[in-house]
Amino acid sequence: MNAPFNQRFDDLDPAQQAGILCNDPRFQQFVGTRTIKSGVTVTSSGCAEYIRTICKVTSRRQLTHNPDAQARFQSLRTEFDAWTGKITTPR
CA angle 22, 68, 87 (to 5 degrees): 55
Instruction: Evaluate if residue 5 carries a pLDDT over 80.
Output: no
In a domain, 5, yes or no: no
In a domain, 58, yes or no: yes
By residue range, what is the domain housing residue 62? 13-84
The number of distinct structural domains making up the chain is 1
**φ, ψ for residue 45 (rounded to 5)?**
-70, -35
In a domain, 41, yes or no: yes
pLDDT at 39: 72
In a domain, 3, yes or no: no
pLDDT at 89: 63
In a domain, 2, yes or no: no
Question: In the chain, what percentage of residues exceed pLDDT 90?
Answer: 74
Range 13-21 average pLDDT: 96
In a domain, 7, yes or no: no
- Residue 12 · residue 20 · CB < 8 Å: yes
